[in-house]
A = this chain, B = another copy of it.
Amino acid sequence: MKKHHPTSPIELKIAYIGGGSRGWARKLMIDLAKCPDLTGEVWLYDIDMESARLNEQLGNWMQDKPGVVSRWRYHAEESLTKSLQDADFVVLSIQPGTLEIMGQNLAIAAKYGLYFPVGDTTGAPGLVRGLFSAITYAGFARAIAEHCPKAWLINYTNPMTICTRTLTKVAPQLKVFGCCHEVFSSQEMLAQIAMQYLGLEAVPPRHEIEVNVTGINHFTWIDRATYKGHDLLALLREHVNKPGVIREYTMAEVLEKKNWFHNADQVKLALFQRYGALAAAGDRHLVEFVHGFITSPEELGRWGVVQTPIEYRLARWAKAPQQTRDLMAGKIPFDLPDTGEEGVLQMCAILGLGDLITNVNLPNIGQIPNLPLDAVVETNAHFSRDSVRPLTAGPLPAGIWGLVAPHVNNQEMIVEAALTGDQDLAFRAVMNDPTTVLPIDKAWQMFREMLQASRAYLPGWNI
């Protein structure tokens, strides 16, 4: 849709909760740097002030680099309330708990025979992470409601649904949405299909693949996909029925390149073959929502999926500051790549610089009428000046409802359990997760061990 440029850049205060971020912060800096229509301040709040200060340096250092067309001042700030005061936008992108806790919870799950490739969204480790994230987010919600009640909030933290839902449950008056790029890769897959089956000379750009999106974060479904009017799901049906398209992988094949984010789209295609709609997230997420896949590393491998080793995450985390310093020292060349993120585009749309339709996480006001009102769901939405309004996706068909609705119920229970301190309720969510294929006594033991591991983030809980 059409973009307007303002006569002079719009002045903003952006509060960044989790401003010490070692990954996503830099993408925001780059996208802001390349946007001539905005300017202002970014306040970086983090419980890790050292990281926040490094990002402050990086952000300010970047200002006079070639290709940068806007001006931003970055401040690391240890007071949450000062960071938030009168902000126009609040970006939330934190690491709930620590990577060590994440590692412990994944190891506990593995001990019980459950091998989660990611573990940040659903399944026992994702739900326990959600439990303590919700406690943290409840505090954010109250602070934002007090210090910048008119700000727009953009959540990036996983578990996306639980974090976003906590904000809207604690402070329903706030303007909140949650963003995730996971759907984009499905558009890219469909673009490939378009090229292959329509005889195009090149892969069309992602934004030309029109999709209808419905479901919940990391378990969204595309029930309609077109490229210039061509029905891409019909082409995909043809595709999956070709011999060899759906096939078994070997562990060797999967581990070969040590690509810890290996994705072969086998789960996505198998679900498509049987359910008639395309699960939009990558297989690493999908296997965590449906029973039968995470029961062993070999089973995962058969589908081309590998568990990301926590050691890898820890090493990446540890190396990040030095890489930032190397960048500023000129040891690593600096450029402004395409980040593939839409956050700044969305801000521009909200500021009235051009409408946008994209998928985001919002409270259900009817867009999926057979999921509960107020639960956070992911669909396309229309962004315009000071407005983010979901497109109506319509009821989920029965087969997919059966896959999605239990997770919505579990997420609602986790948020409620976090806000009321109800351990039994939290367990029911974990037990009801379709991947918790344990008898109830074993599930309870596993749950209790995870609470133990996470106790630092469950203040006042009887663990």
A399 partner residues in chain B, CB cutoff 8 A: 413, 425, 428-429, 432
A295 partner residues in chain B, CB cutoff 8 A: 437
Out of B292, B357, B391, name the residue touching A438 (CB < 8 Å).
B292
B229 and A437: CB pair below 8 A? Answer: no
B440 and A271: CB pair below 8 A? Answer: yes
List residues of A (262-295) whose CB comes within 8 Å of B's CBs: 267, 270-271, 274-276, 290-293, 295
A442 within 8 A of B: yes
B406 and A392: CB pair below 8 A? Answer: no
Out of B210, B425, B439, name the residue touching A299 (CB < 8 Å).
B439
A424 partner residues in chain B, CB cutoff 8 A: 274, 276
B387 and A390: CB pair below 8 A? Answer: no
Count of chain copies = 4
A398 within 8 A of B: yes
A398 and B413: CB pair below 8 A? Answer: yes
Interface size on A, residues (CB 8 A): 73
B274 and A428: CB pair below 8 A? Answer: yes
A212 partner residues in chain B, CB cutoff 8 A: 387, 389
A432 and B402: CB pair below 8 A? Answer: yes
A384 within 8 A of B: yes
A428 partner residues in chain B, CB cutoff 8 A: 274-275, 398-399, 402
Residues of A within 8 A of B (CB): 1-2, 210, 212, 224, 226, 228-229, 246, 267, 270-271, 274-276, 290-293, 295, 299, 302-303, 352, 355, 357, 365-369, 373, 382, 384-387, 389-395, 398-399, 401-403, 405-406, 409-410, 412-413, 416, 424-425, 427-429, 431-432, 434, 436-444
